[in-house]
Amino acid sequence: MYCMFDLRFTLQYPTMYSDKEQVFNCIQRAHQNTLEVYPQWLVFQTIAALVYPLSASVLGAIWVTSRFSYAWGYYTGDPAKRMNGAYGYIGYFGVIFLSISVALQLLGVF
């Protein structure tokens, strides 16, 4: 249905970036990167919080604050400064490991 609609009206994809404004592009990229990771993080965070609410909360706070550091670094336009948010992987991988632990508990492994 959409393909027929597209052929009839020749819809164009939206322009996500600017040709002239580098700062806008940096902000847009930081935002897009967060949106790419957020759904998976939210699932792992929810699963981990079911059994380990305090640990999941601490790891979640680490991840969220790291996203601010990452974004502020990215907004400068200097690629090296976006690494300021690299500590967020502690929170991200932490909730993944806790989610795996929850799954193994449900399977009766330990």
- Its sign, for the CA torsion 73, 74, 78, 79, is positive
- The 10s digit of each residue's pLDDT in 30-55 is 899 999 999 999 999 999 999 999 99
Asked whether the whole model's pTM tops 0.85, one would answer: no
Mean pLDDT of the region 4-27: 73
Flag whether pLDDT at 13 surpasses 90.
no
Contact by Cβ (8 Å): 33, 68: no
Rounded CA-CA distance 47/41 in Å is 10
Polymer length of the chain: 110
Task: Write b or e for each residue in 56-76: b if 16 or more Cβ atoms lie within 10 A of its Cβ, otherwise e.
Answer: beebbebbeebbebbbebbbe
The two structure tokens encoding residue 58: 């601490």
- The 10s digit of each residue's pLDDT in 71-103 is 999 888 887 888 888 999 999 999 999 999 999
